[in-house]
Amino acid sequence: MNFRLPNRVTKCIAATLLLVCLGELAVAQTPNRKLVLGSVYRVVRNLIEVKQEAGDLAIIKVDATTKYVDSTTLAPAKLKDIAVGDQIVIKVIVKNGVDTAEEVKFVSALGGRR
């Protein structure tokens, strides 16, 4: 028996779980750590620009130590897997005065179909 939820429902469930799980991390924020939530506005080389709910843009640097997770499948991912419009949560640390991504979790705007 093959049970499948409609793609839209799957996307909503994944996004909700992502936000609930990462909401716990918001309590543990310090001046050197924070969460950035929103949708991907642009990806340029080693930067991810995130349009946050308030409408402002956060520019976050990524480096070789940044970990990526596709929250739709819970599988490891890469920077190239992130696209404009994806919903994203980034655990940010400050390295040498620059907001740098420690971990990036995202849900595809296409609902897992790329």
For residue 79, the domain's CATH number is 2.40.50.320
Q: Could you tell me if residue 56 is inside a domain?
A: yes
Q: How far is residue 100 from each of residues 1, 16, 92, measured CA to CA in Å?
A: 45, 25, 5
Concatenating the DSSP letter of every residue in 25-88 gives HHHT-BTTEEEEEEEEEEEETTEEEEE-TTS-EEEEE--TT-EEEETTTTEE--GGG--TT-EE
- Residue 50's pLDDT is 97
Confidence bin at 106 (pLDDT 50/70/90): very high
| Range of weakest confidence among 6-10, 22-26, 32-36, 62-66 | 22-26
Q: Could you tell me if residue 76 is inside a domain?
A: yes
The string of pLDDT tens digits covering residues 46-92 is: 999 999 988 899 999 999 999 999 998 899 999 999 999 999 999 99
| Pairwise CA distance, residues 25 & 22, whole Å | 5
Q: Could you tell me if residue 113 is inside a domain?
A: no
- Residue 25's pLDDT is 53
Q: Which two tokens stand for residue 19?
A: 């936000």
pLDDT at 15 over 70: no
Q: How many residues does the chain have?
A: 114
Q: Could you tell me if residue 85 is inside a domain?
A: yes
Give me the percent of the chain exceeding a pLDDT of 90: 59
Domain residues for the domain of 78 are: 7-107
Q: Could you tell me if residue 1 is inside a domain?
A: no
| Pairwise CA distance, residues 77 & 55, whole Å | 27
Q: Could you tell me if residue 71 is inside a domain?
A: yes
Residue whose tokens read 């309590």:
27
Q: Is the pTM of this model over 0.85?
A: no
Three-class SS state of 8: helix
Q: Could you tell me if residue 70 is inside a domain?
A: yes
Q: How many domains does the chain have?
A: 1
Q: Could you tell me if residue 45 is inside a domain?
A: yes
